[in-house]
Homo-oligomer: A and B are copies of this chain.
């Protein structure tokens, strides 16, 4: 409410002097500076961001586009974890985050890019299920600083969970425990799935294990009902698998129920593994063996990279950063003798 003008009046100096004093320019005397700052504090001065943004065209705002298929990705453990960490790092650097959306405004609806321009975001972070969405692509092709999460796009900085090494570690672990008949119910769409899937095949091949097509199935992520169904189908096969890898921890819940209903024990009769390392997986009985994705690190690095891209456009070399997850050894994968 108090503006530079109010302060300038009280101090008997010009508005410019006040502005420069508060921004610590070095052409203002030290004592004047201190006096102005004191008055500013007393008046409860708060800079007007709109005015500042208008002049400098910097809002210190970052737009985030975290889109799950149905929801905003907030109720998606992995996204929520990444976002949380992204937010903390961004705020630490003086940036606030706002969600990008393409809802209708008073005058019709705007695309993601239009919305971002309208809000004047200094940069945007994108984590999506569907990067092939035309509205997402438009954003990727724009002039805005962008960081993508779990997706590599031409000439843009990408921070990705290392699904190749994650899946390799998990598969290796399972193979080492003597499993030969390993089923993989994988998620649908996205580069994430592709990476995991090829890593799965590559690793089993290294162990000289052949995976029949009937063992590899596709379901949407986080759909416990579908995995329940598919698990039953897998168990009905003439030669059922001895271990089932699920697309994610939550989806594993459904599979585990199917297994339990048949009176099979985990891991004695059949082994299961998940992916994500959600908190609840830690409290399953038996504790779920899974790959914990480092959401903390992913969000943190993504924010840092984006901000450095915003603040030093030249110095940042386009790069793709991979963040390793870690195998969480639960008790859901047994050893075959």
Contacts and interface: CB of A to CB of B under 8 A. Distances in A.
A257 B285 contact: yes
Given A49-B118, A74-B74, A74-B84, A61 B103 contact: no
A317 interface: no
Interface string A95-107: 0111101011111
A253 B283 CA distance: 6
Interface in A10-57: 22, 46-51, 53-54, 57
A256 B253 CA distance: 16
Contacts of A105: 94
A118 B45 CA distance: 10
Nearest to A77: B75
Interface stretch (A85-93, A152-160, A169-177): A85-93
A65 B80 CA distance: 16
Interface residues of A, number: 56
A295 to B, nearest CB: 9
A84 B71 contact: yes
Nearest to A119: B49
Nearest to A83: B74
A6 interface: no
A53 B94 CA distance: 21
Among all A-B residue pairs, the 7 with the closest Cβ atoms: A253-B283, A50-B53, A91-B103, A74-B84, A50-B54, A98-B98, A46-B117
Interface of A: 1, 22, 46-51, 53-54, 57, 59, 61, 71-72, 74-75, 77, 80-81, 83-84, 87-88, 91-92, 94, 96-99, 101, 103-107, 110, 114, 117-120, 224, 250, 253-254, 256-257, 260, 279-280, 282-285
